[in-house]
Chains A and B, each alone.
Chain A
Protein backbone atom coordinates (compact mmCIF):
# COMPACT_ATOMS: atom_id res chain seq x y z
CA UNK A 1 0.00 0.00 0.00
CA UNK A 2 1.08 3.52 -0.76
CA UNK A 3 2.06 5.44 2.31
CA UNK A 4 2.16 9.22 2.47
CA UNK A 5 3.46 10.42 5.79
CA UNK A 6 3.16 13.93 7.16
CA UNK A 7 5.57 14.66 9.96
CA UNK A 8 3.13 16.33 12.37
CA UNK A 9 -0.53 15.73 13.09
CA UNK A 10 -0.99 18.95 15.06
CA UNK A 11 1.18 22.05 15.12
CA UNK A 12 0.83 25.33 17.00
CA UNK A 13 2.96 28.28 15.91
CA UNK A 14 3.13 32.00 16.59
CA UNK A 15 2.58 34.76 14.06
CA UNK A 16 5.79 35.54 12.20
CA UNK A 17 7.42 32.17 12.79
CA UNK A 18 8.87 30.17 9.90
CA UNK A 19 7.04 26.87 9.61
CA UNK A 20 8.09 23.70 7.81
CA UNK A 21 5.59 20.98 6.97
CA UNK A 22 7.20 17.77 5.77
CA UNK A 23 5.73 15.04 3.59
CA UNK A 24 7.30 11.75 2.56
CA UNK A 25 5.91 9.11 0.20
CA UNK A 26 7.25 5.60 -0.22
CA UNK A 27 5.98 4.58 -3.66
CA UNK A 28 8.38 6.35 -5.99
CA UNK A 29 5.64 8.71 -7.19
CA UNK A 30 6.68 11.53 -9.48
CA UNK A 31 3.93 13.98 -8.53
CA UNK A 32 3.46 15.51 -5.11
CA UNK A 33 0.94 18.10 -3.95
CA UNK A 34 0.13 20.38 -1.05
CA UNK A 35 -3.52 21.28 -0.40
CA UNK A 36 -5.14 23.21 2.39
CA UNK A 37 -8.63 22.42 3.57
CA UNK A 38 -10.93 24.95 5.22
CA UNK A 39 -14.60 24.60 6.22
CA UNK A 40 -16.86 25.83 3.45
CA UNK A 41 -13.97 26.20 1.00
CA UNK A 42 -12.98 22.58 0.40
CA UNK A 43 -9.51 21.52 -0.70
CA UNK A 44 -7.45 24.15 -2.49
CA UNK A 45 -4.13 23.47 -4.18
CA UNK A 46 -1.17 25.46 -2.90
CA UNK A 47 1.76 24.03 -4.87
CA UNK A 48 2.66 20.87 -6.69
CA UNK A 49 5.76 19.23 -8.06
CA UNK A 50 6.15 16.73 -10.88
CA UNK A 51 9.87 16.09 -10.46
CA UNK A 52 12.80 16.74 -8.18
CA UNK A 53 13.56 20.48 -7.95
CA UNK A 54 10.49 21.28 -10.09
CA UNK A 55 7.52 23.15 -8.68
CA UNK A 56 4.34 24.72 -9.97
CA UNK A 57 2.01 27.19 -8.27
CA UNK A 58 -1.47 26.04 -7.54
CA UNK A 59 -4.50 28.18 -6.87
CA UNK A 60 -3.36 29.83 -3.63
CA UNK A 61 0.47 30.00 -3.48
CA UNK A 62 0.74 33.38 -1.76
CA UNK A 63 2.55 33.19 1.56
CA UNK A 64 3.93 29.71 0.85
CA UNK A 65 6.97 28.17 -0.78
CA UNK A 66 7.98 24.55 -1.38
CA UNK A 67 11.07 22.44 -1.68
CA UNK A 68 11.62 19.11 -3.42
CA UNK A 69 15.26 18.09 -3.12
CA UNK A 70 14.54 14.35 -3.17
CA UNK A 71 11.85 12.47 -5.05
CA UNK A 72 10.19 11.09 -1.94
CA UNK A 73 10.04 14.32 0.06
CA UNK A 74 8.02 17.49 -0.52
CA UNK A 75 8.18 20.30 2.02
CA UNK A 76 5.79 23.21 2.45
CA UNK A 77 7.26 26.35 3.98
CA UNK A 78 5.43 29.25 5.54
CA UNK A 79 8.06 31.98 5.54
CA UNK A 80 6.26 34.13 8.10
CA UNK A 81 3.16 32.44 9.48
CA UNK A 82 -0.02 34.46 9.77
CA UNK A 83 -3.31 33.72 11.50
CA UNK A 84 -5.10 33.28 8.15
CA UNK A 85 -2.84 30.31 7.49
CA UNK A 86 -4.50 28.39 10.30
CA UNK A 87 -5.83 25.38 8.42
CA UNK A 88 -5.63 21.65 7.74
CA UNK A 89 -2.78 20.92 5.35
CA UNK A 90 -2.91 17.78 3.25
CA UNK A 91 -0.06 16.33 1.25
CA UNK A 92 -0.71 13.94 -1.66
CA UNK A 93 1.20 12.03 -4.30
CA UNK A 94 0.45 10.31 -7.59
CA UNK A 95 2.09 8.46 -10.44
CA UNK A 96 3.03 10.37 -13.55
CA UNK A 97 2.74 7.54 -16.03
CA UNK A 98 -0.24 7.39 -18.34
CA UNK A 99 -3.47 8.98 -17.37
CA UNK A 100 -3.48 8.36 -13.66
CA UNK A 101 -4.99 11.10 -11.62
CA UNK A 102 -5.58 9.07 -8.47
CA UNK A 103 -4.08 10.89 -5.51
CA UNK A 104 -2.92 9.23 -2.31
CA UNK A 105 -3.20 11.49 0.73
CA UNK A 106 -1.36 11.84 3.99
CA UNK A 107 -3.27 12.13 7.27
CA UNK A 108 -3.00 15.89 7.35
CA UNK A 109 -1.42 18.49 9.63
CA UNK A 110 -3.74 20.76 11.57
CA UNK A 111 -1.81 24.01 11.89
CA UNK A 112 -2.87 26.72 14.31
CA UNK A 113 -1.16 30.10 14.08
CA UNK A 114 -1.68 32.25 17.16
Chain B
Protein backbone atom coordinates (compact mmCIF):
# COMPACT_ATOMS: atom_id res chain seq x y z
CA UNK B 1 0.00 0.00 0.00
CA UNK B 2 1.32 3.44 -0.90
CA UNK B 3 2.23 5.46 2.14
CA UNK B 4 3.45 8.94 3.05
CA UNK B 5 4.76 9.70 6.53
CA UNK B 6 5.64 13.21 7.62
CA UNK B 7 7.61 14.25 10.67
CA UNK B 8 7.40 16.00 12.96
CA UNK B 9 3.62 16.39 13.15
CA UNK B 10 4.03 19.79 14.76
CA UNK B 11 6.83 22.21 15.38
CA UNK B 12 7.17 25.54 17.16
CA UNK B 13 10.12 27.78 16.33
CA UNK B 14 11.16 31.40 16.78
CA UNK B 15 11.41 33.86 13.94
CA UNK B 16 14.78 33.61 12.25
CA UNK B 17 15.22 29.90 12.96
CA UNK B 18 15.85 27.37 10.20
CA UNK B 19 13.55 24.35 10.05
CA UNK B 20 13.67 21.02 8.25
CA UNK B 21 10.49 19.08 7.56
CA UNK B 22 10.65 15.43 6.62
CA UNK B 23 8.61 13.25 4.31
CA UNK B 24 9.22 9.54 3.78
CA UNK B 25 7.26 7.48 1.32
CA UNK B 26 6.56 4.03 -0.03
CA UNK B 27 5.14 3.71 -3.51
CA UNK B 28 5.41 1.37 -6.46
CA UNK B 29 6.55 3.09 -9.65
CA UNK B 30 7.57 6.43 -8.18
CA UNK B 31 6.74 9.37 -10.44
CA UNK B 32 6.94 12.46 -8.27
CA UNK B 33 6.65 13.94 -4.81
CA UNK B 34 4.85 17.21 -4.16
CA UNK B 35 4.94 19.73 -1.32
CA UNK B 36 2.04 22.04 -0.48
CA UNK B 37 1.58 24.83 2.04
CA UNK B 38 -1.81 25.23 3.70
CA UNK B 39 -2.65 28.32 5.66
CA UNK B 40 -6.27 28.88 6.56
CA UNK B 41 -7.66 28.04 3.17
CA UNK B 42 -6.62 26.09 0.09
CA UNK B 43 -3.33 24.18 -0.01
CA UNK B 44 -1.01 26.00 -2.39
CA UNK B 45 1.63 24.25 -4.46
CA UNK B 46 5.27 24.67 -3.47
CA UNK B 47 7.41 22.10 -5.27
CA UNK B 48 7.24 18.98 -7.40
CA UNK B 49 10.30 16.72 -7.23
CA UNK B 50 11.04 13.95 -9.67
CA UNK B 51 14.82 13.49 -9.61
CA UNK B 52 17.14 12.62 -6.76
CA UNK B 53 19.66 15.12 -5.52
CA UNK B 54 18.41 18.16 -7.43
CA UNK B 55 17.44 20.95 -5.08
CA UNK B 56 14.41 23.04 -5.88
CA UNK B 57 14.45 26.53 -4.42
CA UNK B 58 11.98 29.34 -4.02
CA UNK B 59 13.13 32.23 -1.88
CA UNK B 60 13.79 30.94 1.62
CA UNK B 61 12.23 27.55 0.87
CA UNK B 62 14.08 24.64 -0.68
CA UNK B 63 13.45 20.96 -1.12
CA UNK B 64 15.36 17.89 -2.19
CA UNK B 65 14.51 14.27 -2.91
CA UNK B 66 16.42 11.09 -2.14
CA UNK B 67 14.96 8.25 -4.21
CA UNK B 68 17.36 5.70 -2.81
CA UNK B 69 16.39 6.32 0.82
CA UNK B 70 12.78 7.22 -0.13
CA UNK B 71 12.46 10.59 1.51
CA UNK B 72 12.31 14.28 0.88
CA UNK B 73 13.04 17.30 3.05
CA UNK B 74 11.66 20.80 2.97
CA UNK B 75 13.92 23.49 4.41
CA UNK B 76 12.84 26.95 5.46
CA UNK B 77 15.57 29.41 6.41
CA UNK B 78 15.14 32.63 8.38
CA UNK B 79 11.56 31.72 9.27
CA UNK B 80 8.91 34.41 9.50
CA UNK B 81 5.49 34.40 11.18
CA UNK B 82 3.98 34.16 7.69
CA UNK B 83 5.53 30.72 7.34
CA UNK B 84 3.14 29.42 9.99
CA UNK B 85 1.05 26.82 8.18
CA UNK B 86 0.51 23.13 7.66
CA UNK B 87 3.02 21.70 5.19
CA UNK B 88 1.75 18.74 3.21
CA UNK B 89 3.72 16.13 1.33
CA UNK B 90 2.03 13.97 -1.32
CA UNK B 91 2.73 11.30 -3.93
CA UNK B 92 0.65 9.98 -6.81
CA UNK B 93 -0.06 6.26 -6.39
CA UNK B 94 0.93 3.99 -9.27
CA UNK B 95 -1.37 4.33 -12.27
CA UNK B 96 -3.36 7.23 -10.87
CA UNK B 97 -3.48 11.01 -11.13
CA UNK B 98 -4.79 11.49 -7.61
CA UNK B 99 -2.46 12.30 -4.72
CA UNK B 100 -1.95 10.43 -1.45
CA UNK B 101 -1.13 12.91 1.29
CA UNK B 102 0.80 12.62 4.52
CA UNK B 103 -0.82 13.93 7.69
CA UNK B 104 1.09 17.17 7.43
CA UNK B 105 3.48 19.10 9.65
CA UNK B 106 1.98 22.03 11.52
CA UNK B 107 4.62 24.76 11.78
CA UNK B 108 4.14 27.64 14.18
CA UNK B 109 6.61 30.53 14.02
CA UNK B 110 6.50 32.81 17.03
CA UNK B 111 7.98 36.34 17.14
Contact = CB atoms under 8 A, between A and B. Distances in A.
B26 to A, nearest CB: 16
Nearest to A103: B99
Contacts of A4: 42
A35 to B, nearest CB: 8
Given A43-B90, A43-B104, A44-B101, 19 more contacts: A4-B42, A31-B98, A40-B103, A42-B103, A42-B104, A45-B99, A45-B100, A90-B42, A99-B31, A101-B48, A101-B99, A102-B45, A102-B48, A104-B45, A105-B43, A106-B42, A107-B42, A108-B41, A108-B42
A56 to B, nearest CB: 8
Nearest to B45: A102
A48 interface: yes
Interface size class for chain B? 20 to 34
Contacts of B88: 42-43
Interface of B: 31-32, 34, 36, 41-45, 48, 88, 90, 92, 97-104
A41 B32 contact: no
Contacts of A58: 98
Interface string A44-81: 11001010000000100000000000000000000000
Given A41-B103, A42-B102, A42-B104, A101 B97 contact: yes
A48 B96 CA distance: 10
Contacts of A35: 101
A43 B32 contact: no
Given A42-B104, A96-B97, A101 B42 contact: no
A35 B45 CA distance: 16
A102 B88 CA distance: 13
Given A42-B103, A50-B97, A101 B34 contact: yes
The 7 A-B pairs with the shortest beta carbon distances in the complex, nearest first, are A42-B103, A105-B42, A43-B101, A101-B92, A107-B41, A107-B42, A105-B43
